[in-house]
Structure 1
């Protein structure tokens, strides 16, 4: 005898587990083929590949105006470093070590600022 309350079948999903939102996406041919290749290689449907990219992927923002100042400072420091390296090759490295280390430290600081701010 079956109890009238139990109708059988799969239990209903909770509201958080339901996939009820639909997003329309337009792709050009190149991106569509790349998505299909990713799905084929993973052995999963395209929608599941996109869900995994959203969950684990990372999108970096474009450079802002504040970053351009860091970039110009970085270019100047790189030029100084190249000039010191040429000088070190011609006259010896012993006299240039301290200036070289200071410029490398400033370049590392600028790169750290760019990475952290972005």
Structure 2
């Protein structure tokens, strides 16, 4: 009985699978150890959980950029969505006012303006 030995492929046009290598200028090759007191470490961990990001990426962003761009909360996203819908309604009212006259849409305009003010106040409280 003879042993089966696979022959290596020498196809230069065959593409390698996987992620392409990073350029040597893009690689992170210098590492720094950073220490935190208990209070600041808890703040950092809380921010890490809120952003769903690693501690090292947060520290890196702070060191390089001086700030962290946190994602918007669900409440703020809801407020922006409501404002977008109200802006669409306002455009429709303006179009209607040009056609039928302002007196016909004045009440709806006042009501929509009050709702927009409420949403803007809620947004300012969330900030």
TM-score (norm 2): 0.45
Greater RCO, 1 or 2 (C-alpha within 8 Å, sep 6+): 1
TM-score (norm 1): 0.48
